[in-house]
Amino acid sequence: MSLTTTYDPQNIFAQIIRGDAPCYKLYEDDDVLAFLDLFPQSFGHTLVIPKRSAACNILDVDSEALARVIKVVQKLTRAIVAELEPDGVQVAQFNGAPAGQTVFHIHMHIVPRYAGEGLGIHAAGKADPAELEKLQARLLQRIATQA
Ligand code: 5GP
């Protein structure tokens, strides 16, 4: 894969957007979808994606769609920090396999960081579904009550 890779409509995030694959959804509107990472690098690791852009990365996404995504990233980062009380939070976005990208539908990572805890291996180690369900319920409640 390279930065110039062609968008593959069968990528896993495209499947999630179409409802062909499941996700632990945290937020959805007409343009943006957010859900828990299935292979989290930390407790609360969340992904935010544009729904209408067939874009692999930051080079080809349209700026309006990107702006909508970052607004949701901020909203969810606030909710995650309020609910999980991490000591820090990383907001990240990778472009191209050499930069660490493994799913080629543009997305942003929200990765809470806890003092003394290292980061899990990227895109490895599937989370316990029961834990993800519990976490989803907590965060949904927080998002619903957030100003
Ligand atoms: P990237 O490496 O492309 O920046 O990030 C892709 C992310 O998607 C990784 O953090 C990986 O754990 C996550 N991921 C891969 N497959 C799935 C999946 O089927 N469902 C969810 N929710 N996350 C996934």
Task: Render pLDDT for 37-76 as a digit per residue (tens, 0 to 9).
Answer: 999 999 999 999 999 999 999 999 999 999 999 999 999 9
pLDDT tens track for 8-18: 999 999 999 99
Mean pLDDT of the region 105-125 = 92
Atom nearest to 40 CA in ligand 1 = 12
Residue 1 has pLDDT above 50, yes or no: no
Residue nearest to atom 10 of ligand 1 (CA): 123
The answer to the question of residue 31 being in a domain is yes
Instruction: State if residue 81 touches ligand 1 by the CB under 6 angstroms criterion.
Output: no
Distance 109 CA to ligand 1 centre (A): 9
Q: Which residues contact 32 (CB under 8 A, 6 or more apart)?
A: 48, 49, 50, 51, 68, 69, 71, 72
The answer to the question of residue 3 being in a domain is no
CATH number assigned to the domain comprising residue 109: 3.30.428.10
Residue 122 has pLDDT above 90, yes or no: no
What CA–CA distance (Å, rounded) separates 73 from 15?
21
- Pick from 37, 46, 105 the residue to mutate for probing ligand 1's pocket: most ligand atoms within 8 Å of its CB: 37
Q: How many domains does the chain have?
A: 1
pTM strictly above 0.85: yes
Atom nearest to 41 CA in ligand 1 = 10
The answer to the question of residue 4 being in a domain is no
Instruction: State if residue 127 touches ligand 1 by the CB under 6 angstroms criterion.
Output: no
Mean pLDDT of the region 76-101 = 97
The answer to the question of residue 1 being in a domain is no
| Cβ contact 110:117 at 8 Å | no
Range of the domain at 91: 10-144
DSSP strand pairing (108-113 vs 46-50): antiparallel
Identify the pLDDT of residue 123. Answer: 75
